[in-house]
Chains A and B, each alone.
Chain A
Amino acid sequence: MQTLNILLPTLYSLAWADYALLFFRDDTFAEKTAPPLLYLTGTLHGIALVVLAIHLEIFPLATVFEAFSVVAFSVLVVYLLIEWHIGVRTTGFFIVGVVFAFQLVSSAFITRPTEVNPLLTDPSFILHASTAVLGYAAMAISAIYGLLYLMLFYDIKKHRFGLIYKQLPSLEIMANFTYRAASLGFVFLSVAIVLGLALMVKVYGAHWWDPKLTITFVAWLIYGSCTVGRRLWGWSPRRVAFASLAGFAVVLFSFVVVNLLFTSFHGFV
C-alpha cells in the first residue's frame, strides 16, 4: 500500500512530464513514450483499486482521499478514450496534470479509517457512490476542455497565434467534449442524487438541509443548464464552457472546503 502511494504519483508525474514535453516542445521521444507510459500507469492504478476493493471487501470510497483516487482513475480512462478517438495528444498535458494532482493528494493523505461504516457494503450505496464519482470525473473532463476552449477562443479572437493556437485541437472538438462530458456528468449526478436521497431517508430519516447536499444540488443545476442551455436555449459554446468551469469550482468546493468547515452527515465524501 505504502509502495503504491509512492509509485502511482511518481508514474503520473513522469507521464505528466512526458506530456509537457510533447505540448511545449513537440518532442519526438515524448511522442513515442507518453501514451504507453500513461496506459501502463492507468493499468497499474486500475489493478491497485481492484486489489484494494477485494482485500478490504468494501468499495474504496471510505474517505474523500480514496474517492480522489477513483476520480483520478475515471478521468484517466475517459481521457484515454478521447485521445484514442481524436488522435490528438496535446491536451494530455492538462488532463494528466489534473489526474496527477488528484492522485497526489489522495496518496499523501490516505488513511484507512479504523471503523468502517457498514453502509459502505450496501449495494445501493455502492451504486450511489460510483455514479457520483463518475459524475465528478465527467465534470472534471468537461471543465478542463471548457478551460482549453476558452483559452483558444480568446487567443483566436485577439489574434494571438502562440503555443495554445498551435497545439490545441479545433474549438469545435473542445466545445463538443465540454458539452458531452457535462451532459454525462449531469446524468450520473442525477442518478447519484436520487439514490443518495433514498438512502438518506432509509438510514437517517428526513434530513432536508445539509451543506453538502445543497452544494451538490447547485452543481447539478449548473450542469443541467449546460445540457439544456446548449440544446434548447441556443447557448454558445463559450457560455457552456464558463458554466462548466463554474460547476466544477462548486464541486471542488463541495469536495474540499465543505468537508473541512462544515459538519455534514455525509461524512465520508
Chain B
Amino acid sequence: MGSSDMSLLVVGMNHRTAPIEVRERVTFSDKEVREILSLARAEQTLGEVLLLSTCNRTEFYGLSNDNGAAEMYIRNIISRQKQVDLAAHPGYAYTLSDVESARHLLRVATGLDSMLIGEPQILGQVKQAHQLSLEAGACGLVLNRLLHTAVAAGKRVRTETQLGSGAVSVASAAAELAGKIFEDLSTRSVLLIGAGEMGELTARHMLEKGAANLTIANRTFGKAMELATELNGLALPLDRVEEALACVDIVISSTGSTEPIISQTQMKRIVSRRSGRPIYIIDIAVPRDFDPTIGRLDGVFLQNLDAMNLLVDKNLEERRAEIPRAEVIVEEELEKFLVWRRSLAATPAIKQLRERLEEIRRQEVARYGGRFCEEDREQLDRLTESLMKKILHPAMDKIRSWSGSGHLGSLRIDTIYELLDLPRGDEGDPGRPHRPHGDGEKE
C-alpha cells in the first residue's frame, strides 16, 4: 500500500504540556535521532517518520495505518529511551492526527507554537530534522511534501509578517534601540562598565549588530582584562571612566555600586566636551549607576532596565498582533498541501491508465511498424506518442480533480479501472508496510 492511504500523526511534548525537568530529559541528539529513525523504519509500525527535537519540544511525525498503535509505539520509544513514565503521566505528551498534525507542524515551523512567539531558530531546526529523516531513508513522499510546505510557510511568515520582528530580550532591545539612535554601528564605540553577565550579554548584542571598539571598565581590572581578551576589546581601570565617556558613543553600565557612579555635574562636564555628539547610555544596574536626571541633558539618551522591559513588552505585543496574519498563511499553505494529498489517491489510477495505453501503443506500432521504412517508423513512433500525450493530458487533470471530491470521486476512479480493466495491484513502496488492495504511488 502507499502513503496516500496512511494517515498522518504527531506525538510530542512541548513547553505547554511537560515541565522543564521532563523536557530537558526528553531531548535527542542527532546521533540518537538517526538511531531511532533507523529502528522505526525497520520495525515498520510507521510508514514514514521524522523526529524534531529542540530544547522546548520533542515531536515524532509519522504516517501509519493504525494511529492508535502508532501512538503507543512512539510513547513507548520516549518512555524506554528517556526513562519518562508516559503511562503514569499521559498528559505530558499530546497526539494529533491527520489535518491537525499537518497544521501543527506548519504552526511550529512558523514560530506560532514557540514559547517565544516568532523566534527564528525553529525553522532551521525543522529543516535539520527533515534532513536527518531524509538521510535515514525515513522521509517518504508525504512527509517530504509536508516538510517542504512547512518550510515555505515559515519563510512566508518571516517575509510577509512582523511575527519575528522586534527585540524580545533586554540585551537585544538595548541593541535595537542603538540602531534607532545611530545609523551605522560599525563606526560606533562601546564602553561596558562592570563585567557582569547581563552587561556582557548586552555588549555581545551590540557587537553582533556591528559595533566596533569595545572598551571594558571594571573595579577588578583583571576581570576586565579577561573579558576584553575574549571579546577582542580593551580594558580600562574604573577611575578612567569619565575620560572614556567623553569619547564613546554607547555605554552599557551594570556595576554593583550602591551609589550612582556618574552624577549630573560630572555628566554636564562630559557633554560639554562632546561637541554635540549624542551618547546612548543603557543603565541596567539596580541601583542605577547614572543619576537619572542625566537623561534630561541634550544629546544624552539614558535608558534603564524598566525602559528596556517596556520595549520588550511592546515588541511582544506587536508580535502577538501579527498572529492572525501568520495563521492565514498557515491555512493557505495547509490547503495547498491537502489538495496535493487528495490528488495522491488518483496517482495509481493515472499510472495504470498511462501504462495500459502505452502498452497498446507499443504493440500496435510493433505490429504495423514492419510496413514502414526505418525513417517512417521513427516518425510513426513519435506521432503516436504525441497523440497519446494529447489525449491523456486533459484526462489526467480531470482524474486528479476527482480524487479530491470524496466518495463520488472514488466511484468515478473505480469506473476507469472497470472500463479499461486495469489491475488494482500494489506497486509497493519498498520498506513500507503492505495491505491487500492497497495502491502504490510515485511522485
Among B179, B298, B311, point to the contact of A161 (Cβ < 8 A): B311
Is there an interface contact between A165 and B299, defined as CB atoms closer than 8 Å? no
CB distance from A158 to the nearest CB of B (A): 9
Known: A26-B162, A166-B318, A236-B299. A156 touches B177 (CB 8 A): yes
Residue of A nearest to B322 (CB): A26
Is there an interface contact between B301 and A237, defined as CB atoms closer than 8 Å? no
Among B180, B299, B306, point to the contact of A170 (Cβ < 8 A): B180
Known: A156-B177, A237-B278. A161 touches B310 (CB 8 A): yes
Q: Does A180 contact B (CB under 8 A)?
A: no
Q: Does A202 contact B (CB under 8 A)?
A: no
CB distance from B209 to the nearest CB of A (A): 12
State the majority secondary structure of interface residues on A.
Answer: helix
Among B160, B182, B184, B298, point to the contact of A236 (Cβ < 8 A): B298
Is there an interface contact between B295 and A157, defined as CB atoms closer than 8 Å? yes
Q: How many A-B residue contacts, CB cutoff 8 Å?
A: 53
Q: Does B395 contact A (CB under 8 A)?
A: no
Known: A234-B276, A236-B276. A152 touches B295 (CB 8 A): no
Residue of A nearest to B273 (CB): A234
Query: Hey, which chain A residues are within 8 Å of B179, CB to CB?
Result: 170
CB distance from A161 to the nearest CB of B (A): 5
Q: Does B169 contact A (CB under 8 A)?
A: no
Number of interface residues of B (CB under 8 A): 23
Q: Does B275 contact A (CB under 8 A)?
A: yes
A165 and B306 alpha carbons, distance in the complex (Å) = 17
Q: Does B339 contact A (CB under 8 A)?
A: no
Is there an interface contact between B276 and A237, defined as CB atoms closer than 8 Å? yes
Among B177, B182, B276, B301, point to the contact of A235 (Cβ < 8 A): B276
Q: Does A171 contact B (CB under 8 A)?
A: yes
Q: Does B303 contact A (CB under 8 A)?
A: yes
Is there an interface contact between B299 and A172, defined as CB atoms closer than 8 Å? no
What 1/0 mask marks residues of chain B from 290 to 311 whose CB sits below 8 Å from any chain A CB?
0000010011010100110011
Q: Does B398 contact A (CB under 8 A)?
A: no
A161 and B173 alpha carbons, distance in the complex (Å) = 11
Residue of B nearest to A153 (CB): B301
Q: Does A159 contact B (CB under 8 A)?
A: yes
Residue of A nearest to B307 (CB): A159
Is there an interface contact between A238 and B303, defined as CB atoms closer than 8 Å? no
Within 8 A of B (CB), among A223-257: 230, 234-239
Within 8 A of A (CB), among B274-333: 275-276, 278, 295, 298-299, 301, 303, 306-307, 310-311, 314, 318
Q: Does B239 contact A (CB under 8 A)?
A: no
CB distance from A200 to the nearest CB of B (A): 38
Q: Does B181 contact A (CB under 8 A)?
A: yes
Query: Hey, which chain A residues are within 8 Å of B230, CB to CB?
Result: none
Among A157, A161, A173, A234, the most chain B Cβ lie within 10 Å of the Cβ of A161
Q: Does B21 contact A (CB under 8 A)?
A: no
A248 and B182 alpha carbons, distance in the complex (Å) = 26
Among A28, A165, A172, point to the contact of B183 (Cβ < 8 A): A172
A64 and B71 alpha carbons, distance in the complex (Å) = 80
What 1/0 mask marks residues of chain A from 135 to 161 whose CB sits below 8 Å from any chain B CB?
000000000000000001000110101
Apart from A169-B183, A234-B276, what 6 extra A-B contacts exist at CB < 8 Å?
A: A152-B180, A161-B310, A161-B314, A168-B180, A170-B181, A237-B276
**A–B complex contacts, Cβ < 8 Å, 14 sampled:** A26-B162, A156-B180, A165-B180, A168-B180, A170-B181, A170-B182, A171-B180, A171-B278, A172-B182, A172-B183, A176-B183, A234-B276, A237-B299, A238-B299
State the 5 A-B residue pairs at the shortest beta-carbon distance, nearest first. Answer: A234-B275, A159-B307, A172-B183, A236-B276, A234-B276
